[in-house]
Amino acid sequence: MKKEDIVKAAKEYRETLPYCDDAKIRGMSVGGEIGFIAGVEWFMKSLFHKTKDEVPQPIGDYANEVYPQIPCLVKGHLSTGYGYGVRYWNVTEQCWDDEECDDYECDKEAVEEWAYLDDIIGNMEE
């Protein structure tokens, strides 16, 4: 997603708001657009976590499993080369398992950053 995509979405959002000729309310509408942009940028920046600072934690459905493996979008040195991929954080072994969740993929340090797949796909139950 590029900055211009976010700005375009914010303007489309603003256009859904009721029109009013009052300058004060028009200013609130522009403020809503700015808030929309700031919210998207905050979300994008907060989505990924640095592996050197933290590892995925078993929360929600993963917290009570005997052998929890947490699905993540990762960026780093994977068996497929350097780049992005879906891998599973193996909580018990403290390593990354492959995309099929059944074999060792790489050590913790091979992945630079990660994001919970649940955060990306929009699991907003709470």
Residue 125 in this model has a pLDDT that exceeds 60: no
CA distance 38 to 19: 22
DSSP state of 108: G
* Predicted TM-score of the model (pTM): 0.68
Residue 25 in this model has a pLDDT that exceeds 60: no
71 by DSSP, 3-state: which?
Answer: strand
Residue 54 in this model has a pLDDT that exceeds 80: yes
Reference 55, options 107, 120, 119; nearest CA is: 107
Reference 45, options 8, 6, 11, 103; nearest CA is: 6
Mean pLDDT calculated for residue range 26-49: 74
Residue 90 in this model has a pLDDT that exceeds 70: yes
What are the phi and psi torsion angles at 99 (to 5°)?
A: -65, -15
